[in-house]
Amino acid sequence: MPCFERDQYTAERENGRRLQLRPEEVDLWLAPLNPSSELSLSMRRTLSADEGERKFHFASDRVQFITARAILRDILSRYLGCAAEQIQFAYQDRGKPGLQGVTSITTDLRFNLSHCADAALYAVTWGREIGVDIELVRPEMPWEQLANSFFAPGEAVKLQRWPAHRRTFAFFTCWTRKEAYIKALGDGLLLPLHAFEVSAAPGEEPALLAVADPAELKRWSFFDIPLGDSFAGSLVVEGYPSRVRLLNWH
């Protein structure tokens, strides 16, 4: 297994240079989605017109999207060495975002993001597919019913092996592993959750265990992200990175 590190990153460490990331490494960023109003206003100025004007049913969802997207721009700009507002996004047929324009020609930076409640998680690497998911652990969630309805049969059975007080957290961990894999593929909701199986039993390392194409089993690396008991998080990355680093965004 690669080294999984925590790092208290601060912008002052850049000294005006690009943030360094080797091709075989992955950086994860954990960020709050409740920045000060002054910071939020400043960050919104980096968004494109379509990002700022995107419509949402609830105002809170719009604020969350704008904040999460502005933070993404700030993070990517640190690797690309450009202003956050210069970054241009493109979208695959199934909705997975990527880079376009000059940045896509001069670099092959890949990224993915997920957010829930007041937290966002970002993954950044070079030249390989990547997916990340974060979920708030909700004790009231009817996890057993959901697992039986949407998960692979083997996963639902394995969740029952956990101690009763840990089954809800185990369910959300399994959920994030599956969501991160789907996001790495870029398939959105086109791949049903029951169509593949990930590890779910106590003591099992995070991994893809069964899928239609056997070649997929060796293509991906799975990681659980240590976020405490309130959140579950997972990373899925193509190949075998030498290091995964967890940073706090400021």
Residues 118 and 156 in one domain: no
Name the token pair of 162. Answer: 């956990």
Q: What domain count does the chain have?
A: 2
pLDDT for residue 159: 98
pLDDT for residue 89: 84
Residues 77 and 124 in one domain: yes
pLDDT for residue 11: 45
User: Does 158 score more than 80 pLDDT?
Assistant: yes
User: Does 101 score more than 80 pLDDT?
Assistant: no
Residues 118 and 142 in one domain: no
| Token pair 């909700």 in the structure block, residue | 138
Measured CA to CA, the distance from residue 98 to residue 108 in angstroms comes to 9
User: Does 238 score more than 80 pLDDT?
Assistant: yes
pLDDT for residue 85: 87
Residues 188 and 243 in one domain: no
Looking at residue 71, the DSSP 8-state letter turns out to be H
Measured CA to CA, the distance from residue 182 to residue 3 in angstroms comes to 24
Question: Is 14 inside any structural domain?
Answer: no
pLDDT tens across 38-93, in order? 666 677 777 766 665 565 556 666 777 788 888 999 999 999 988 888 888 887 66
Residues 71 and 146 in one domain: no
In the beta sheet, which residues pair with residue 221? 237
| Domain around 202 | 136-226
Q: Could you tell me what percentage of the chain is helix, strand and coil, using 3-state DSSP and rounding each to the nearest 5? A: 35, 25, 35
pLDDT tens across 52-64, in order? 556 555 666 677 7
Question: Is 181 inside any structural domain?
Answer: yes
Specify the CATH number for the domain of residue 63: 3.90.470.20
Residues 25 and 114 in one domain: yes
Residues 94 and 188 in one domain: no
3-class SS at 100? strand
Using CA atoms, how far residue 133 sits from 57, 114, 202, 210, 228, in Å, is: 23, 5, 20, 20, 15
pLDDT for residue 83: 87
Measured CA to CA, the distance from residue 136 to residue 231 in angstroms comes to 5
Phi first, then psi, for residue 29 (nearest 5°) are: -125, 130
Measured CA to CA, the distance from residue 150 to residue 178 in angstroms comes to 11
Supply the mean pLDDT for the chain.
86
Measured CA to CA, the distance from residue 217 to residue 204 in angstroms comes to 15
Specify the CATH number for the domain of residue 183: 3.90.470
Q: Fill in the amino acid letter for 122.
A: Y
pLDDT tens across 7-16, in order? 655 444 454 5
Question: Is 233 inside any structural domain?
Answer: no
Mean pLDDT for 22-34 is 92
| Cβ-proximal residues to 167 (8 Å cutoff; 6+ apart), any chain | 143, 144, 159, 160
Residues 81 and 103 in one domain: yes
Interior angle at CA 218, CA 25 and CA 182, nearest 5: 75
